Structure 1
């Protein structure tokens, strides 16, 4: 007997729920289980939030503000259970199956199980879908995938996770710190006086994130702070910029050589708020551990106001000639 279309739709949905463990069961019924995974989440600034995934995301490059990098394809299949293990899981959800489908019969349930029984004894695995919930298209992408796909040993289904996509997930999760600008003089500078610039709050100049599918493959992405740029907030006729700064600038040293910062040539009295807006941009080079995996640099910007005054000269009567 052919399964009615409406019932078939319910069975298809239940297959996905049972395989993925996504639903919230009613009181008195056990969660049917299934693979779960979670990346990191730092309020609304997450780059990666994994759902129904076994991928583990770790590293000292997590937890900051994401820079907007998006994985091109926010859903995928991952290798899951063997035929025996998957059949065991599906048989364990019998009570749950009838709870969601009260008009179903034993024959309907046997038909539901048949797709799993047919694979017992074969070499291979069931692959199940996962997605990045931080991507606005992640859930819609996942909804278009099948609840489970049987793949013979050594194969990968269309849409199966690849090493390149694992690197992309690591890159999406990667964050770098926002710098704090330090100046000398700090509160106010003066015309023709060197204003030294350096950064604090960065910590280690390299940050890494690893995305790993345990027992299958892993991908590590590393960001290294390589340079900074200084924008004085005005034209070259009003300021001279020194950018021999290294990656984090040059802290002020008494008697030292001024190589990183700004020498303002005009006072800021005519500027909005009576100050120039100095901007510092850090650039982090991003590379993958594997050959051929490189990404565009991460650029992070910080700004602060710099009031600049005129040096006042006092001429005393005895000094006149």
Structure 2
């Protein structure tokens, strides 16, 4: 089959460590959940609806020997986020035989070739990575695969930084899906308060570490639970406090557990329903706000938009039955 070039494609995923991927939608960033749920956790949504993690970045893909093995034994893959080469001839011409290549989708449009894959030199060939090409500006991360000496980060737009890794890790944070405790449980009565709480230790900081092999770059993104917001599922209800925002204490607890004799008292965190649900349970939404911060290589640090995670529980509300004589 003759060699030819077309636009890039593939499925986004992680090609960790020494695993090589021919797709520019696969990242080698290694993500580790340092603390928090390993299985069964929920993914955060940004409280800032317009915030998104970086659309693309550059990262090292091949050592000289790895590129030689790929080019001469496979030769089908992405040479940039928007350009794929199919057939070993394109790869060997450019990276082995010093022939210039054309970048149809970016700048520079003509790229000088390499001699024998730079074998004998210490470094990596870098390429852009983009999770979603449809959302990517055509001017971003569109350089053809290029060389960078070991220990160096390329001086180009969209070069990776610790903040890039921190933002990448944002969507990898897994937080507990624990439901809040309700009293009365699943069934309440009109005008009597429903107490809401979580025992201490239920919500603790969650930390995720992201590392980009071959660069020395790393970042740890930390999510700290700071508040619970209650939505009773109907306008015919009051929340305690009135804002519906219950603070999370330093020990990870929320509100105060219900104890016998407190039925008529006002809970520090809770709901009072004003109308019966009439057979169709209200959907109580409990949304935890997580404060996001990060620290990374060379002392870099900062904050990211708060994250939220929401759970929904059924609540049936009945009228108090009374008999008049």
Which range, TM-score by smaller chain? 0.5 to 0.7
| Structure 2 residue ranges without an equivalent (≥5) | 11-17, 76-85, 101-112
The yes-or-no answer on 1:268 pairing with 2:276 is yes
1:54–1:232 Cα change, 3 Å: closer
**Aligned position for 2:147:** 149
The yes-or-no answer on 1:77 pairing with 2:83 is no
Cα distance in 2 for partners of 1:108, 1:162 equals: 27
Cα distance in 2 for partners of 1:229, 1:183 equals: 14
String of CA shifts for 1:34-83, please: whole Å, max 9, x gaps: 7537xxxxxxxxxxx995543211114666335376322324233753xx
SS at match of 1:169: helix
The yes-or-no answer on 1:207 pairing with 2:181 is no
Over aligned residue pairs, what C-alpha RMSD do you find?
A: 4.5
Cα distance in 2 for partners of 1:286, 1:107 equals: 44
Matches within 5 A, 1:26-105: 36=20, 51-59=25-33, 60=35, 64-65=42-43, 67=45, 70-78=52-60, 81=63, 86=64, 89-90=67-68, 93-94=71-72, 100=87
Contact 1:167 1:293 in 2 (8 A): no
| Structure 1 residue ranges without an equivalent (≥5) | 1-6, 23-33, 38-48, 317-321
**Aligned position for 2:228:** 228
Structure with greater Cα Rg: 1
Question: Normalising by the residue count of structure 1, what TM-score does the alignment of the two structures yield?
Answer: 0.63
Structure with the largest fraction of helix: 1
**Aligned position for 2:189:** 190
String of CA shifts for 1:102-151, please: whole Å, max 9, x gaps: 899999964459713495676x6233215254675479889833123345
1:199–1:36 Cα change, 3 Å: farther
The count of residues paired between Structure 1 and Structure 2 equals: 268
Structure with the largest fraction of strand: 2
String of CA shifts for 1:177-206, please: whole Å, max 9, x gaps: 334243211132113322111358x95422
SS at match of 2:123: strand
**Larger RCO (alpha carbons 8 Å, 6+ apart):** 2
SS at match of 1:168: helix
**Deviation, structure 1 residue 160:** 2.5
Cα distance in 1 for partners of 2:303, 2:91 equals: 53
